[in-house]
């Protein structure tokens, strides 16, 4: 079997795959790369005045990472532009925020071609290639144009929207057609997969075969739903380690007998943070006996802060959290602790464990790993309650959570009340089922399922 080549917008630095700050995805991919003697290629995150295509290699932990710098214009048009101003909102159903400009599209095509040119000399004939996420949809097509006949798979980490929304994108057909240059296209959920199939059937006159293969644009490719999971074992170990323990104790001291509800998200409009704050306000209004007894810790790490919609949501959250605190706080109680920084994974594990409720209420999310982390971090003898949006991909699997509609303040407020009052027997019963799934469908199972399906796909004829 040949080597595995992983290609994603950004790569994780090698050598620290056991470090507590590295995400599960990086760990799982690093493990696969070690097994298959592979290379992980992506953008360095740096820009230079003119594109050189120069590859930088780093080796560590048995993994080779190769990166390339881009130009400033690439960063603006490809990364901040087409990826994060056009596709991200559109794929999260936010056509109101999706900005399309031809220059973004040109930058997107240019960078995908640059990725293909740069990675090409690294490829060997029996390699197989795994491309990640919405930044790189046309990469398969660019590689085929350069004569690559290897198996190439694509995995989309974020949702795929209904056809009526997707067709608002100028050149939508071209983007979908580009996906037909892969041998396997994977989605997080059945819901995303069905939406894609619907597009192919109705817009491209395609047909769906009995084994998940789909034919359109003169090609047949495989499709599948591959829900991503956690590196559960490592996360549980982190939750039981020293840093987690220290953070749990620190939080318990600061609780002063109160109960904590926790939210942990990138600061992104798709995460439903404003709606969450307003639902919590509704809960406070309707539940005076909870005042001074409960607080919400919302950790929201700023991201993509060059994109206007992110600046706007950040300002709104500052305003809403400040207003709610002003209205309800007392001399020794703040109802919302709103924190704009990030924590290491083992610290987060300790924070999750100290929380009576994990509040995960995105308006739309590919999967949402925070929901799984909250479950994995709980004390098996006395677990907390997960409240989960019906619009997170994770809701397809985590049906024992309290499932809520994040667009309804009353629904979320009721769930908070119910979660705080839930008897231990019910908490245990729900948690055991949830934890079972988090263990069984972990990141290794995800990776093996995708790689297995890719290797089982027929090699295309030249």
Among 370, 398, 402, 434, contact with ligand ADQ (rule: CB under 6 A): 370
- Range in contact with ligand ADQ (rule: CB under 6 A) among 7-15, 63-71, 119-127, 364-372: 364-372
In whole angstroms, the minimum distance from the beta carbon of 207 to ligand ADQ comes to 29
365 contacts ligand ADQ (rule: CB under 6 A): yes
Among 228, 385, 386, 415, contact with ligand ADQ (rule: CB under 6 A): 228
Give the residue numbers marked as catalytic.
Answer: 157, 365
Binding string, residues 330-349; x marks residues near ligand ADQ by CB under 6 A: ------------xx----x-
Binding string, residues 291-330; x marks residues near ligand ADQ by CB under 6 A: --------x-x-----------------------------
- Range in contact with ligand ADQ (rule: CB under 6 A) among 74-82, 162-170, 172-180, 264-272: 264-272
- Range in contact with ligand ADQ (rule: CB under 6 A) among 166-174, 313-321, 360-368, 409-417: 360-368
- Range in contact with ligand ADQ (rule: CB under 6 A) among 161-169, 194-202, 361-369, 412-420: 361-369
Among 17, 265, 275, 281, contact with ligand ADQ (rule: CB under 6 A): 265
Among 2, 13, 15, 23, contact with ligand ADQ (rule: CB under 6 A): 23
Return the number of the residue (31 or 299) whose C-beta is nearest ligand ADQ: 299
200 contacts ligand ADQ (rule: CB under 6 A): no
Q: Return the exposure string of 380-397: e unless at least 16 CB atoms fall within 10 Å of the residue's CB, then b.
A: eeebbbbbbbebbbbbbb
Site for ligand ADQ in 138-167 (CB under 6 A): 157-158
Return the number of the residue (148 or 355) whose C-beta is nearest ligand ADQ: 355
Give the count of residues interacting with ligand ADQ (CB under 6 A). 20
Return the number of the residue (91 or 150) whose C-beta is nearest ligand ADQ: 91
In whole angstroms, the minimum distance from the beta carbon of 250 to ligand ADQ comes to 16
- Range in contact with ligand ADQ (rule: CB under 6 A) among 145-153, 235-243, 259-267, 435-443: 259-267
234 contacts ligand ADQ (rule: CB under 6 A): no
Give the footprint of ligand ADQ on this chain (CB under 6 A).
23, 25, 157-158, 228, 264-266, 299, 301, 342-343, 348, 365-370, 373
């Amino acid at each position: 079997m040949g080597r595995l080549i992983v290609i994603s917008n950004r790569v994780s630095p090698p050598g620290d795959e056991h470090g507590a700050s590295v995400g599960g995805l990086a760990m799982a991919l690093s493990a696969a790369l070690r097994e298959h003697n592979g290379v992980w290629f992506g953008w360095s995150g740096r820009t230079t005045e003119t594109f050189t295509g120069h590859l930088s290699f780093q080796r560590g932990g048995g993994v080779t990472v190769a990166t390339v710098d881009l130009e400033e214009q690439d960063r603006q048009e490809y990364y901040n532009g087409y990826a994060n101003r056009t596709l991200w909102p559109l794929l999260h159903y936010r056509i109101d925020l999706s900005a399309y400009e031809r220059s973004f599209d040109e930058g997107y095509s240019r960078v995908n071609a640059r990725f293909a040119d740069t990675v090409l000399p690294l490829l060997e004939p029996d390699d197989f290639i795994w491309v990640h996420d919405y930044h790189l949809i046309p990469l398969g097509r660019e590689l085929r144009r350069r004569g690559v006949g290897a198996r190439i798979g694509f995995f989309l980490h974020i949702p795929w929207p209904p056809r009526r929304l997707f067709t608002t994108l100028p050149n939508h057909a071209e983007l979908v057609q580009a996906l037909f240059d892969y041998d396997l296209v994977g989605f997080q959920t059945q819901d995303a997969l069905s939406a894609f199939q619907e597009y192919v059937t109705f817009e491209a006159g395609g047909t769906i075969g009995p084994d998940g293969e789909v034919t359109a644009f003169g090609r047949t490719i495989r499709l599948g739903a591959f829900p991503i999971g956690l590196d559960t074992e490592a996360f549980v170990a982190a939750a039981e380690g020293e840093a987690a323990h220290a953070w749990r104790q620190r939080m318990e001291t600061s609780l002063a007998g109160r109960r904590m509800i926790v939210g942990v998200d990138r600061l992104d409009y798709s995460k439903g943070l404003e709606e969450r704050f307003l639902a919590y306000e509704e809960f406070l209004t309707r539940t005076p006996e909870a005042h001074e007894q409960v607080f919400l810790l919302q950790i929201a790490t700023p991201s993509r802060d060059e994109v206007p919609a992110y600046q706007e949501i950040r300002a709104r959250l500052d305003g809403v959290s400040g207003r709610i605190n002003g209205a309800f706080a007392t001399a020794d109680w703040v109802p919302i602790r709103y924190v704009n920084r990030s924590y290491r994974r083992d610290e987060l594990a300790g924070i999750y464990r100290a929380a009576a409720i994990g509040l995960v209420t995105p308006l739309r999310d590919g999967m949402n790993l925070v929901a799984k982390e909250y479950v994995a971090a709980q004390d098996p003898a006395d677990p907390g309650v997960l409240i989960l949006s019906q619009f997170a991909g994770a809701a397809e699997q985590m049906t024992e959570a309290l499932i809520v509609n994040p667009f309804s303040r009353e629904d979320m407020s009721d769930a908070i009340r119910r979660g705080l009052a839930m008897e231990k027997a019910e908490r245990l019963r729900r948690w055991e089922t949830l934890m079972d799934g988090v263990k069984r469908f972990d990141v290794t199972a995800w990776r093996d399922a995708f790689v297995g399906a890719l290797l089982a796909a027929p090699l295309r004829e030249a």
